[in-house]
Structure 1
Amino acid sequence: MAPDVLVVGAGPTGLATACGLLRQGVSVRVVDRAEGPAVTSRANFLHARGSEVLDRLGALRELPEESLRAMMITTYLGDRPIASLRFGDPGLRTAAPPMVVSQARVEAALRDRLAELGAAVEWGSTLVDLQQDSTGVTAVLGTGESVRTGWVVGCDGAGSVTRRLAGIGFPGVRISERYLLADLHIDWDLDRSGTTGWVSPAGMIGAMPMPSPNADLWRLIAYDPAEGGVKPSEREIVERFRRIVPERTGRSDARIRDATWVSLFTVHRRLAEVYRRGRVLLAGDAAHVHAPFGGQGMLTGLGDAENLAWKLGLIVNGRADESLLDSYEAERRPLATQVLRGTTAVTKVNIAAGPVGRFLRDRLLVPVLNLPWVQRWATYSASQLWVSYRRGPLGTARLTREPRPGDRVPDLHCVCPDGAVSRLYAELRGRFAVLTPGAEEQGGVASVQRRPGKHVVFLRYVDDRREMWLVRPDGHLAWRGRDVSLLERWLTTALSTGRAKR
């Protein structure tokens, strides 16, 4: 049977998109050109917003218990510590505090959830062509199979074939900075309770502890200007780390034994011209790519997936007009632009080569990071819990009490129709939630089901709030007020036009 949606790419973004759609009863096929799952990844940090997305998808699982809490980043200038930045729990009732966990492990948890929802990744399946018309898309795979589907979502990374076949431009720049990466077994007495970085005239180097039975596995990253454009072999990368570590850190006691994984990358900064062309949509690295500093890549992709899945699911189920998809790009592309700017600024700080740049970084900027309010701001900023769509087509920028429509709603305790106490995020399950003060009001708002149908759940507050709230499937506030007719009007308008107001 033809799937409603073909998802291309089985990384975190593609898997989260597929899980979100399946939860709404949408049929999905997931294809990936790789021959099998990745065993490791460059990304190994998940902030609080990412944990919330996984929690709402039912895919968080044991990741918090399996991860490390290496939340302290200590920066050295030579052998002298000059700054300590602590990433803590933002204190906003999140599903989990920041975690050091491999993207590969996140993907495994999402694949488990995908299997529970009745689907599996089709490995070794490459998208080679697609043609779309007014009713759907015909995609051709490398096996020669032709797949007829309603929609294609490209989550196939920076080199996205989906994006190219859809004719969507990917302007930006390839920055000359090159970095070496390796997971190495190292004998040294470096503190594993946090990440350590060294600034040096020769370039930055950082060491992050990785989960391992013997507590000796480390992820090293080092700035390594390309020498003649020659790509080093895996053995040469390890040998280069053996030379770089004592030179830049002053740690002559470090004995690098062997590597479990090595890689290198050159920083790109690119943003897709549009996120949608007809029935083809982009998400994750296929839509935006940037420097990996700050752990924003996987985090932003998971946010794309959740935002897109609930909207596309309603459309496939006949509960919303295609115009609702316009709000996907309107809400997510500005965030990607902001992330690109932020990661570019961090990159420039990390590789400051000139004497003026190094002075500003080492003597002025780095010490500021020791200030408590700066550390709180850094934790909150990196978490993406601040993300709001109040200025988007489904939000409102007018001054009202917070949260305003478009803002994130905390994971409130709530009462289910059967009287059981639960959490808001656990009850969303890809649906809207109507929160009311009491059972009487619940009976009065049942009419709102006319538009979203089964894609809405009715809950009661456990506290003394008096307003009704309509919460979107991605945990953002859609509407607040006391008049049920205005709530119905919001749903009708938003789902038929993609805007909160006509």
Structure 2
Amino acid sequence: MSDPILVVGAGPVGLAVAGELARRDVPVRVVDVLAAPTTESRAIVVHARTLEMLERVGVLDEIVDSGIKATGVEMHASGRTIARVELDIVDSPYPYSVVTAQTETERILRENLAKHGVQVERGLTLVALEQDDSGVRATLRDADGREETVAASWLVGADGAHSAVRHLIGSALQGSFHGERFLMGDVHAGHDFDPRSMYTFFSAHDGPLMVFPMKGDRMRLIAQIPTASTDEASQEWLQRITDERAAGRIRIHDALWLTCFEIRHAQVPQYRSGRVFLAGDAAHIHSPAGGQGMNTGLQDAFNLGWKLAAAHAGTASETLLDSYHAERHPVAARVIEFSTRLTHLSTLANPLAQGLRNALLHTATGLGPARQALADETEEVRVAYHDSPAVVPPAAHADITPGDHLPDVAGTDLRRLLSAETGPVLVTLGGPHALPAAVRLPGVRQVLVAATSAPVDGFDVVAADPEGRAAARFGLASGRILVRPDGYVGAVAVGDDDRPVTAYAELTSLG
């Protein structure tokens, strides 16, 4: 039996990676330096693309029930609303963000992991790491100083911004180290905000205040403060800032958690080092503007998990493993650029520049294309892997492109069928006169989209689509779409030319 995969770090990212492995029956160990789950809740927003991934895990309903749905983002300055972006216009079956405590997200992912027989091993610190072509040897130290050397087939470093894994493989974050400092609080408060929105208040003299209503009277407040500030986090300080920036609309009753922290914009140059992979904050850090940190990390996890499962089974090529870095590094770079741009817009000091910003935001969010782009960027539904080495360039035209996330087809059961799978799926769309024969690929489920769900020889599942909505949605009347386990398209074959899907199988060594 092969050695297990070792995941270092039991935050949301580590739990998600381990869950993706465990639900594919891959042996996995999860270790964390903390003796108990954290009570701190740094990340609180789960965006649409991440919700799509969580549906595949089977925890979507629990995540949604744990928080509230936010369908808009408002920006305020000088006592008035200068911009509003509706999030429910994004192309997703879940066109909203869920605002919920990170502690809830962790609890749900941890309980899901336990259903697969995996428990987090706590109070263990990674102190040494060696690897060769056959595996990884990691030395773990417990709270009493006892050490254990464990063998692992692969190792995932999901141990946060101060990652021991990153340090031990000799990697380092690279980027802008002129940090931004924030005061953050989880509080109970009285307010008059619509809980279905998230808010940013621009200040004429200081940094922004970000406001996230949560369930009941709970609220998350994040205020940028001077970098040189050495004051201790306090409820009185946070109240003073909210009075100044939000015009007294927030009355803090008590604080559940207060902290000051500094964020820089940086990421590692390589997400893979031999048999070691970095994910989440261990690989990239950036401003909380946009609320995309945990989401980017969770999507790292969903991208990496199925690839490592294939590697553990001996069915993944080096191209497939290398594609983790090739696909996710540009995504984090884009998130860093987006959050940096938002931060710069929020911290303009010149009154003329502030006035121009306010006018431009007001005008832009009144224009359909700009409003759509902002919503798509926030909800991360624009993430695609068109330049990945693990997708096959299109041989002929279709509206759907390899590297896209497969869009939802309303009115069919296709999404439900695909989300239940843990491996790749080949979706076949029949022509108007004859049903195409199945193409057999090892380890790939065959789904036929047809007028009825009557069984057809050679296909594992037939998805009923009497109105031909899938063909219209994909711009593909007849052909095949190879859908990866993370919901992204690996190849598109138009008509009876199956070379792109067989090329994908050879490229990634499926089976």
TM-score range, shorter chain: 0.7 to 0.9
Aligned to 2:135: 136
**CA-atom RMSD, angstroms?**
2.8
Matches within 5 A, 1:81-480: 81-94=81-94, 97-143=96-142, 144-203=147-206, 204-212=208-216, 216-227=217-228, 229-230=229-230, 232-234=231-233, 237-251=234-248, 254-398=250-394, 400-412=397-409, 423-428=416-421, 430-437=422-429, 444-445=438-439, 447-449=440-442, 452=443, 458-463=460-465, 464=468, 465=471, 466-480=478-492
Instruction: Tell me how far apart the structure 2 counterparts of residues 154 and 85 of structure 1 sit (CA, whole Å).
Output: 35
Instruction: Tell me how far apart the structure 2 counterparts of residues 321 and 24 of structure 1 sit (CA, whole Å).
Output: 18
* Higher RCO (C-alpha 8 Å, min separation 6): 1
Distance change >3 Å, CA 3–CA 36, structure 1 → 2 = farther
Distance change >3 Å, CA 250–CA 97, structure 1 → 2 = closer
* Contact 2:390/2:504 (<8 A) preserved: no
Alpha-carbon deviation of 1:281?
0.7
Alignment deviations for residues 213-236 of structure 1 (CA, whole Å, 9 cap, x no partner): xxx222112121034x52x334xx
Instruction: Tell me how far apart the structure 2 counterparts of residues 211 and 241 of structure 1 sit (CA, whole Å).
Output: 20
* Contact 1:43/1:102 (<8 A) preserved: yes
Distance change >3 Å, CA 127–CA 243, structure 1 → 2 = same
Aligned to 1:46: 46
Alpha-carbon deviation of 1:455?
11
Distance change >3 Å, CA 421–CA 292, structure 1 → 2 = closer
Alpha-carbon deviation of 1:122?
1.1
Instruction: Tell me how far apart the structure 1 counterparts of residues 334 and 16 of structure 2 sit (CA, whole Å).
Output: 22
Q: TM-score, normalised by structure 1?
A: 0.88
Unaligned runs of 5+ in 2: 448-458, 472-477
Distance change >3 Å, CA 103–CA 455, structure 1 → 2 = farther
For 2:407, give the aligned amino acid. P
For 1:241, give the aligned amino acid. L
Alpha-carbon deviation of 1:454?
8.1
For 1:467, give the aligned amino acid. G
For 1:225, give the aligned amino acid. P
Alignment deviations for residues 320-363 of structure 1 (CA, whole Å, 9 cap, x no partner): 23342111111111111111111110110111122343222223
Aligned to 1:58: 58
Instruction: Tell me how far apart the structure 2 counterparts of residues 487 and 54 of structure 1 sit (CA, whole Å).
Output: 29
User: Does the residue aligned with 2:371 lie in a helix, a strand or coil?
Assistant: helix
Instruction: Tell me how far apart the structure 1 counterparts of residues 484 and 386 of structure 2 sit (CA, whole Å).
Output: 13
Q: Which moved more, 1:430-439 or 1:43-52?
A: 430-439
Alpha-carbon deviation of 1:150?
0.7
* Corresponding residue pairs, total: 481
Q: TM-score, normalised by structure 2?
A: 0.86
Q: Which moved more, 1:387-396 or 1:19-28?
A: 387-396
Aligned to 1:500: none
Unaligned runs of 5+ in 1: 498-502
Aligned-residue identity in percent: 36
Instruction: Tell me how far apart the structure 1 counterparts of residues 435 and 106 of structure 2 sit (CA, whole Å).
Output: 41
User: Does the residue aligned with 1:62 lie in a helix, a strand or coil?
Assistant: helix
